[in-house]
Amino acid sequence: MGIPEKQDHFRTANKSRISTLVRNILPAKKADEIGKKTILAVPYLWLSVFFLVPFFIIFQISFTEAIIARPPYTSLVEIEEGLIQIRLVTESYLMLFEDDIYWKSYLNSAWIAATSTLICFLIGYPMAYGIARAPAHTRRRLLLFIILPFWTAFILRVYAWVGILNNNGILNNILQWLGLTDTPIQFLYTDFAIYIGIVYTYLPFMILPIYTTLEKMDLSLMEASSDLGGRPVTTFMRITLPLSVPGIIAGSMLVFIPALGEFVIPALLGGDDSLMIGRVLFDEFFLNRDWPMASTVAVAMLIFLVAPIVLFNHFQSKEMEAK
């Protein structure tokens, strides 16, 4: 039924019909093109406005001076007698070097972040290794229990340690019960508590990338090594460890970068004298209301972090292309 009808249809088709067809297709193509561009343009625009532009603003405000006004900083560009004048104030940058609180907290943060990253690696690597070499069905469950804490509120997990490390907290109670100490040991509000908090929070971020590289690894390489008489330690040091370097780097960056700028953990677990740059920035902004100084601290932190962030991006995009 349908076919003769269709033939009939085609026979009656004339030039004008074809041209309307073409006319209908062309705008459709154009619409497709617009649709395709929109898919890219919307997120591009969003990120440009809300991620890229803010950095230029931070940079600009770091060269102004704090005043009591709304907003509390001088403007960079002034129009005086019809001339546009740019007033760069480098006072905040000089302060960065003159007042030792800033560089001391940079060094201290870098030290704490690096040490925590190392501890995460030492605990996380064997765990990732164990999970990757477990039988498939257990592997899934083990992995789930690594990810699970990540979904529970971060601040509540930090809070859990307040209860443990307190002067009359569980840890001190156990130590006193064991007779190891008579008077409570000050754990809370020390750097020790900051280390615990950072390692506890960021450990899963170390384990997951390492697990991914270990799981993808070709096991026959290790078999070959042991067939050739390589001892397990040699096989591990010369094959497994070098092959998992991309995972180690990605995991280390995922721990180091946020740990360096961490605010919540030092604010809740650290002492008043614990200097971490994220906290200094926070106080500079909220307590001293010195926006230019806070911006300068942020710019300096960014310069500090450019190398790790680029390194992470590099490995991340390589990972994506490998897929």
User: Which of 7, 85, 181, 313 touches other proteins by CB under 8 A?
Assistant: 313
> Helix, strand or coil for residue 217?
coil
Is 241 among the residues that bind other proteins (CB under 8 A)?
A: no
CB 64 within 8 A of CB 90: no
Nearest distance, CB of residue 4 and other proteins, angstroms: 23
User: Which of 131, 194, 208, 293 touches other proteins by CB under 8 A?
Assistant: 131
Nearest distance, CB of residue 91 and other proteins, angstroms: 18
Alpha carbon distance 56, 59 (integer Å): 5
Is 42 among the residues that bind other proteins (CB under 8 A)?
A: yes
Binding-residue total with other proteins (CB under 8 A): 94
Is 52 among the residues that bind other proteins (CB under 8 A)?
A: yes
Alpha carbon distance 122, 116 (integer Å): 10
List binders of other proteins among 149-168 (CB under 8 A): 149, 151-157, 159-164, 166, 168
Question: Which tokens in the block code for residue 220?
Answer: 């026959």
Nearest distance, CB of residue 155 and other proteins, angstroms: 5
Nearest distance, CB of residue 14 and other proteins, angstroms: 23
List binders of other proteins among 262-281 (CB under 8 A): 262-264, 267-268, 278, 281
User: Which of 247, 261, 266, 270 touches other proteins by CB under 8 A?
Assistant: 261
> Of 95 and 127, which CB lies nearer to other proteins in the complex structure?
127
**C-alpha to C-alpha distances, 276 to 62, 108, 110, 114, nearest whole angstrom:** 20, 6, 9, 13
Is 146 among the residues that bind other proteins (CB under 8 A)?
A: yes
* Beta-bridge mates of residue 85: 78
Compute how many other C-beta atoms are within 10 angstroms of the C-beta atom of residue 164: 16
Omega into 71 within 30° of 0, i.e. cis? yes
Nearest distance, CB of residue 55 and other proteins, angstroms: 6
The burial of 56, by beta-carbon neighbours within 10 Å (0-12 exposed, 13-18 middle, 19 or more buried), is given as exposed
- Give the single-character DSSP code of 288: S
Choices 1-9, 10-18, 98-106, 304-312 (CB under 8 A): range interacting with other proteins: 304-312
List binders of other proteins among 90-119 (CB under 8 A): none
Give all strands (DSSP E) within 181-269, no chain letters: none
